[in-house]
Structure 1
Amino acid sequence: MVEIKRCSFCGDEIEPGTGKMLVMRSGTIYYFCSSKCEKNFALKRIPRKLKWIAKKK
């Protein structure tokens, strides 16, 4: 059975075979559903303050 991952930024489910995984030097693993989520994470934005994430939930 395929394990379903969740986006570390927006919380959406990531379909198997899609998305991106980022491994930090500390060993922490982050999963992203899109480049939009990855870029916002890199800019250290807070997900709960973004309107497009609040509309999804």
Structure 2
Amino acid sequence: MPTTRQCSFCGHEIPPGTGLMYVRNDGTILWFCSSKCRKSMLKYHRDPKKYKWTTRYMKVR
């Protein structure tokens, strides 16, 4: 049975059959729900705790 994943940046659930799996050279697997999340984490090195549209922002504040 397919399982739902959680986005590594924003924390939202990713339905089966969607999203992107990114594997780093050290073997760490990162799941992203959109290109917005992927670029924010990998290209721009943003902190998800500073953005209101992420669920990680809600947990800290």
TM range (shorter): 0.7 to 0.9
| 2-structure distance, mates of 1:23, 1:53 | 22
Q: Note the aligned Cα RMSD (angstroms).
A: 1.6
1:9-44 Cα distance to aligned partner (Å, 9 max, x none): 001100111000000000000000000000000111
3-state DSSP of counterpart to 1:51? coil
- The CA deviation at 1:51 is 2.0
Uncovered stretches (5+) of structure 2, i.e. residues with no partner: none
Identity within the alignment, %: 52
* Number of the residue aligned with 1:53: 54
How many residues end up aligned between the 2 structures? 56
- Tell me which stretches of 4 or more aligned residues in structure 1 moved more than 4 Å: none
3-state DSSP of counterpart to 1:45? coil
